[in-house]
Structure 1
């Protein structure tokens, strides 16, 4: 049976409508769609980072100083320091009388050396700085970083003491004979002594390590400094005088600005050479908290009078034995 004429007339219309609807997405894709953004250039391949490169040493720098400061590179000779001088392992820095110096490890560590102090660089990396305090007084400020944990170690030469922290400020004194004192101003510091025994020295505390002993129990840093001098009395007849003094173990003692070594109990001896007349003497003791005490004394030296002539002796006038220019006696 043949289809009605009206349906036959509608068939081309429906076919055309379907083709138009099918063509709409194709036309939008071809004519109306925005072209995609160009791809970024391909980054060059990154070289593989070895473990040794990841722990690449960070350079220490002698940032600032005043007075006489010398540096020795390895086994080389001593040379005058220069501002921003780089320091590497085995380098040694020393400060003279009345001098100071500051060593920096980027933004992680600041180490201030007081007068007559000597340090040597042991190890430097992103994660660790290790310095040896040969003698003297040094203060370390260690700033924590969010991305890298950096530990600073200050080891005392000739002693069993080693102080370390990842964030904080502490001062270490080393008398060069095995007695070390550590005082913490900020943060916590691990102080290790003989056989690895350690204490945690918290802010405001100090601990002492004596030769062959473990660290003492941390106590509050004294706000005053104990100094006792045994001054000689009266006018001095000997040009050289010995004076004995006592202070707390680990304190730094200077006489007229020159460092004086102390023993494990804080005892020290001064050998003074006196000039004629009054001789002012100034003794200063400083602890690891920064407190100081000064004792002053004036020692007067008068040379002994010449010995009196001996009694019962005969004086001889030698002139009577001198011959005149013409060979005759006077």
Structure 2
């Protein structure tokens, strides 16, 4: 049976309406929707910073010196120092009798070496400078800079002592066998000894480290230096070589006529003095890490002439002359 004419006429209308409704979202998406914002350009790849680059190696510079100062690069020969000579890890600097030298690490560290002192460069970077004090006496000044933290470490050779600070001034002495004294002038210094035990040495204080021991409790830097000599009792000496003993505080530096004399862990020392005919003036100086010093002088006379036997005109063996 055929459909009524009215229904046949409605079918195209309904189909068209459906098509129009289906096309509305497509038209909105194509003609009316705002285009999306353009994507930002891709960022350039960031450089990869390795650990070695993060700790960029810097140089120490031998900025000034006076007298006999020598430098050795690695295992090479000793050579005379020159102004502004760069120093790198494994380099060694030593000062002779009556000499001094100043080493700089940019604006961060200034290290002054006194006479008869030897240092070697251990490690250098933007964040850390590490120097080994072989023997002698050196003063470090570490300056803090905005947004830059730099730590300076001065380690004693042949011992356990290690002093470090990020800002301050301190002096370290090393007798060459690991007995160390540290005195702080400004700031705070961390002084480490055996098994990592440490103390904080504040301005105006000192501490002593002996081999195999922890640092002593910090106390006030003495204003005077203890020095006791045991001079010979005879006014005239018969031998050209003379041994003289003395005693000072542990960690003090002892000089005889400008030449460093090694001390033991208790501050005792022996001087081998060479005498010439006639009067010899021997000067002994003890210096503490606070800068105080004590001197003793003694005139020793060498007389190697023949010993004259005085004849007894009375021919007696004792008693008084008649």
**Shorter chain as normaliser: what TM range?**
0.7 to 0.9
Partner of 2:156: 156
Question: Which residue is 1:203 aligned to?
Answer: 203
SS at match of 2:53: helix
3-state secondary structure, aligned to 1:283: strand
Q: Which residues of structure 2 form unaligned runs of 5+?
A: 1-43, 310-322
Within-5 A mapping of 1:68-83: 68-83=68-83
Please give the residue correspondences for 1:275-314 in structure 2 after superposition, counting only pairs within 5 Å.
275-305=276-306
Residue 189 of structure 1 aligns with which residue? 189
Aligned position for 1:6: none
TM-score normalised by length of structure 2: 0.80
Shift of 1:51: 3.6
Match of 1:52, SS?
A: helix
Deviation at 1:50, TM superposition (A): 3.6
Please state how far the C-alpha of 1:239 moved relative to its aligned partner: 1.7
Does the residue aligned with 1:293 lie in a helix, a strand or coil? strand
- Look up the match of 2:263: 262
Q: 1:235 matched to which residue of 2?
A: 236
**CA–CA distance in 1 between the matches of 2:178 and 2:169?**
22
C-alpha deviation, 1:304, in angstroms? 4.2
Deviation at 1:148, TM superposition (A): 1.4
Report the secondary structure of 2:300's partner residue.
Answer: strand
C-alpha displacement at 1:305, in angstroms? 1.1
How many Å apart are 1:163 and its aligned residue?
A: 0.3
Q: In the TM superposition, what whole-angstrom CA distance separates every residue of 1:62-121 from its partner, at most 9, and x where no partner exists?
A: 000000000010111111101000000000000001000000000000000000100000
CA separation in 2, counterparts of 1:144 and 1:111? 15
State how 1:121-160 maps to structure 2 within 5 Å: 121-160=121-160
1:62 aligns with 2:83: no
Looking at structure 1, the residues matched to 262 and 268 of structure 2 have their Cα atoms a distance apart, in angstroms, of 9
Distance 2:162 2:139 in 1: 14
| Greater shift in the superposed pair: 170-179 or 52-61 | 52-61
Q: Deviations over 1:160-209 (max 9, x none)?
A: 10000000000000001120000000000000000000000000000000
RMSD: 1.6
* Runs of 4+, deviation exceeding 6 Å: none
In structure 1, the partner of 2:274 is 273
1:174 is aligned to: 174
- 5+ residue gaps in structure 1? 1-43, 309-330
How far apart are residue 47 of structure 1 and its match?
Answer: 5.0
User: Number of aligned pairs?
Assistant: 266
Task: Name the structure 1 match of 2:41.
Answer: none
Distance, in Å, in 1 between the alignment partners of 2:45 and 2:281 is 73
In the alignment, the residues of structure 1 paired with residue 195 and residue 50 of structure 2 have an alpha-carbon distance, to the nearest angstrom, of 35
Q: Secondary structure at the match of 2:195?
A: helix
* Matched residue, 2:220: 220
User: C-alpha distance in 1, partners of 2:56/2:224?
Assistant: 44
Q: Offset of 1:307 from its aligned partner?
A: 7.3
- Following the alignment from structure 1 to structure 2, what is the Cα–Cα distance between the partners of residues 217 and 271? 34
Give the Cα separation in 1 of the matches to 2:77 and 2:277: 40
**Correspondence for 2:13:** none
Q: Distance in 2 between the 1:216 and 1:50 partners?
A: 41
TM-score by length of 1: 0.78
The 3-state SS of whatever aligns with 1:53 is helix
Shift of 1:301: 1.0
Q: Which residue of 2 aligns with 1:111?
A: 111
Secondary structure class of the residue paired with 2:160: coil
Q: Determine helix, strand or coil for the equivalent of 2:236.
A: coil
